[in-house]
Structure 1
Amino acid sequence: MLTVPIRQLGEPERPAVQRILDADPYAGAQIAERVASHGLNWWRSDGRIYGYEPARRIESIIWSGAHLVPVGATPPAVAAFADLLGAEARICSSIIGRSEAVLDLWDRLSGHWGPARDVRPNQPLLVTDRDPLVRPDPDVRLVRPSEVDQLFPAAVAMYTEEVGVSPMQDDGGRGYRRRIAELVKGKRAYARFDGDQVIFKAELAIITRRTTQVQGVWVHPDHRGQGLATAAMAAVVADALRRVAPTVSLYVNDYNRAARRVYQRCGFVSAGSFATVLF
């Protein structure tokens, strides 16, 4: 039995959902992009949004789809969400969000859904709203649709290195390639090329009216430790701020000290901490 009122939300609750997303535009970016594109009709957005509603006011939400994403989730809300979700089979491939909520949620769900393949408890969430002081690399540019074949091997290498499994294993990489092609078509994929080889890449994986979230940052192993990443990332940030959104955000594993130094040089500052549970 659920401990408090909790229910699936739809279009009538859109103002309340937007209020919660606006209160935390970085943690809620993934949901905000989907709501802006598809509304709250679950059959259009491939996921459901549930609301925690004590005293007849929606205070917290959670997105349940390919990823599980809590936003504004207080401890009572997490307990309610876990009550609901723990009674169902897991459908998500990860739990992502503010570290306190994610770790509390996983503590409550692990007995139902465990074990996880990996738990990353502290991923600094970083944000910037100004041009980097570092001179941007003029050779970093948007990837052209004709260059998807060159970009794709670099994207697979990044994904495998970061996530720990290959995106090729389920369907031969067809779904992942479609995603990369969509990012390129949407002018959301950046790269620096050396001939036909990608030596740096990054994508604007999420875009909302409040922020764009950078993911997939990768430097070819043969070019690491040469100072390439800072100027390359500065180019991404400068273009994204000029062309896409008023802020640029990302999250990074706490143990990736090299990447954290790059982001610091590019002007990113702390906006809290994420956690990710991978299945």
Structure 2
Amino acid sequence: MLTTRHGVRVLAAADLDEFLALARRDPVVNVFAIHRAQTTSLEPRWLGGEMWGRYEGGELVAACHVAANLVPVQATPEDAVVFAERALARRRTASTIVGPQQAVLPFWETVGPAWGAPRDARWDQRHLVLAGEPEVDPDPGVRLTARTDLDVLYPACVAMYTEEVGVSPEIGGGSDLYRTRVVQLISRGWSFARFDRGELVFKAEVACATPDAAQIQGVWVPPHRRGEGLAVSGMAAVVAHVRQRISPAVSLYVNEWNAPARRAYERVGFRETARFATVMF
């Protein structure tokens, strides 16, 4: 393994404590990377990729999760360029680059000419956090989902993903893998929904969690039920469930142009703490 006082090297299990100390400087923004590190011990076979660390004077100053999701961790613009230059020396494996704007933008400016046009790029996403009680009453009908809900829940998950990402998760034979992910979230107690006479009218999931924070994904209300306040009371219920059972702080990020969602999250009590950007291939 490369050991260096300066530069970039692949982190391993022996580096876990040092990595966690770095990432916990902002445990909510870095919840994904912390979750991945804790569940894989930075072993490449479990990461499905690598965790890179940048050192200055023998100290770990920044990191980058390099797998299907490429995620800078505590990276300055200078750190991001260094990681990007290393990325250019290998084949692109990432399907998504996501993280704080200050790192994603210079990373993309460096790799973009070689990596080609992305399928989509979202340069202004609001990272929101709620670390207290919701400011509206939770919907008492929102509950943990169960395997018996799968026939109704799974099509809603596909619809949400397709609407949000722009392509179906089932393309290319991905339905089995995506269904497995939905079942995994149910099994972990990370999937929430409200049903109205057998119809799913609100859903959301925990994407990743640590003892410090949980990140929400997949918030969705079917188009014909939007405008009824289901997302507001539903998200209040999710926050209450998560803070009681999983983590004290609840986070998510939302596209700048999604005004209805931003208004709903603000009513629940979420406040902006950072700006994210996402590039998708």
> Considering the TM-score relative to the shorter chain, is it more than 0.5?
yes
Aligned amino acid, residue 137 of structure 2: R
Q: Distance in 1 between matches of 2:49 and 2:200?
A: 34
Matched residue of 2:133: which SS? coil
Matched residue of 2:51: which SS? strand
1:65-90 CA distance string (max 9 Å, x none)? 01000011112211210111011111
Paired residues of 1:89 and 1:113 also in contact (CA < 8 A): no
The Cα RMSD (Å) is 1.0
Query: Are 2:146 and 1:144 aligned?
Result: yes
Partner of 2:8: 6
CA apart distance, 1:91: 0.6
Matched residue of 2:135: which SS? coil
Query: Are 2:182 and 1:180 aligned?
Result: yes
Partner of 1:109: 111
**Structure 1: runs of 5 or more not aligned:** none
Partner of 1:168: 170
CA apart distance, 1:38: 1.6
Q: Distance in 1 between matches of 2:234 and 2:29?
A: 25
**Structure 2: runs of 5 or more not aligned:** 1-5
Partner of 1:41: 43
Aligned amino acid, residue 93 of structure 1: S
Partner of 1:225: 227
Aligned-pair identity (%): 41
How do 1:200-211 residues align onto structure 2 when only pairs under 5 Å count?
A: 200-211=202-213
CA apart distance, 1:172: 4.4
Paired residues of 1:142 and 1:188 also in contact (CA < 8 A): yes
1:228-275 CA distance string (max 9 Å, x none)? 211111000011111110100000001111111111111111111110
Q: Distance in 2 between matches of 1:60 and 1:277?
A: 20
Aligned amino acid, residue 147 of structure 2: P
Paired residues of 2:232 and 2:268 also in contact (CA < 8 A): yes
Q: Distance in 2 between matches of 1:268 and 1:101?
A: 23
1:82-122 CA distance string (max 9 Å, x none)? 11101111111100100110011011010111111111001
Query: Are 2:117 and 1:96 aligned?
Result: no
TM-score, structure 1 normalization: 0.97
Partner of 2:130: 128
TM-score, structure 2 normalization: 0.96
Q: Distance in 1 between matches of 2:247 and 2:220?
A: 22
Q: Distance in 2 between matches of 1:149 and 1:25?
A: 35
Runs of 4+ in structure 1 deviating by more than 2 angstroms, as ranges, are none
CA apart distance, 1:27: 2.6
Paired residues of 1:191 and 1:198 also in contact (CA < 8 A): yes
CA apart distance, 1:62: 0.0
Number of corresponding residues: 276
1:18-43 CA distance string (max 9 Å, x none)? 11110121232111111111201111
1:34-62 CA distance string (max 9 Å, x none)? 11112011112212100111211110000
Partner of 1:159: 161
2:196 to 191, 194, 197: 194
